[in-house]
């Protein structure tokens, strides 16, 4: 044997043999921990998606599912990056806002300004044009017919009506 070189065979002789039952139990414990983390993640993602959709007056399951899928990807990335569960909800909230802001930027053909006010104005306009549920399924859909939706939202933003102000809904804090 060469000095300073460790052979796998030599290591195997010195290492204690583990009981197969203990190994199986360890794997089962790790898998149950992974399942618990996945369940906790799902429990965090779904309410955030529901609240954001509801704050825009959207009751479409398709739209909620699109946001849930997007947020699940973000949550998994956050977990992989070592972010604790206490910060995940905050990051999910930020990711949902960013996704909605980006979608409206695509719909309107212009960037949505930073800050709460521009998004709130767009939200109220969207609620107004979607009060009959016509645009609910298109919410966050990258393939939606944007021209008509954009003109409807722009028109509602230009001339706020008393209806919009009556339908204002404060966003719930998680």
Helices (H) and strands (E) in the chain, counts: 7, 0
- For the stretch 52-100, pLDDT in tens is 999 999 999 999 999 999 998 888 777 767 777 778 888 899 999 999 9
Q: What is the pLDDT of residue 74?
A: 84
What distance in Å separates the CA atoms of residue 162 and residue 103, rounded to the nearest whole number?
26
Structure tokens belonging to residue 152: 């409807």
**Residue 141 burial by CB count (10 A; 0-12/13-18/19+): exposed, middle or buried?**
middle
Look up the pTM and report it.
Answer: 0.69
The whole-number pLDDT of residue 33 equals 57
Structure tokens given for 174: 């998680």
Which pLDDT does position 19 carry in this prediction?
46
Low-confidence ranges of the chain (pLDDT < 70): 1-37, 80, 160-174
State residue 78's pLDDT score: 74
Residues 126 and 81: their CA atoms lie apart, in Å, by 35
pLDDT at 68: 93
Domain ranges of the chain: 17-166
């Amino acid at each position: 044997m060469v000095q300073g070189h460790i052979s796998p065979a030599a290591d195997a002789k010195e290492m204690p043999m583990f009981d197969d039952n203990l190994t199986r139990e360890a794997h089962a414990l790790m898998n149950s921990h992974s399942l618990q983390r996945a369940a906790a993640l799902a429990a965090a993602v779904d309410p955030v998606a529901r609240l954001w959709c509801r704050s825009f007056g959207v009751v479409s399951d398709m739209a909620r599912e699109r946001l849930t899928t997007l947020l699940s990807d973000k949550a998994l990335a956050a977990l992989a990056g070592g972010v604790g569960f206490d910060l995940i909800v905050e990051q999910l909230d930020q990711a949902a806002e960013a996704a909605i802001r980006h979608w409206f930027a695509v719909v309107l053909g212009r960037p949505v300004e930073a800050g709460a006010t521009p998004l709130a104005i767009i939200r109220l306009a969207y609620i107004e044009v979607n009060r009959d549920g016509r645009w609910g399924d298109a919410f966050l859909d990258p393939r939606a017919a944007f021209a008509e939706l954009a003109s409807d939202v722009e028109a509602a933003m230009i001339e706020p009506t008393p209806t919009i102000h009556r339908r204002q809904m404060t966003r719930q804090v998680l």
